[in-house]
Amino acid sequence: MVFNSSYTIADLNHNEDALAEIKQLEQRLSEQTGAAITLIAYNYEHDIKAERTD
């Protein structure tokens, strides 16, 4: 597994709607694939300065 420090685990503890959507998608994907699927939500912290070319 490759770790990139630009990603952190998303704090969805107080976002019940987002958690419900993730759980529903996990269920649908598990049914479609026949395997237990777990989705993990990350925040992407984008450093614009690192991409500058001037």
3-state helix, strand, coil in the chain (%, to 5): 40, 10, 50
Q: How far is CA 11 from CA 8, 16, 54, in A?
A: 9, 11, 35
Residue 46 lies in a domain: yes
Residue 8 lies in a domain: no
> What is residue 26's predicted lDDT score, i.e. its pLDDT?
98
Per-residue pLDDT reduced to its tens digit, 4-51: 678 899 999 999 999 999 999 999 999 999 999 999 999 988 765 555
Residue 9 CA from chain centroid, whole number: 7
Residue 9 lies in a domain: no
Residue 10 lies in a domain: no
pLDDT band at 52 (very low <50, low <70, confident <90, very high): low
Candidates 16, 23, 17; CA nearest to 40 is 23
Range of the domain at 39: 17-51
Can you tell me which residue has the tokens 């993730």?
22
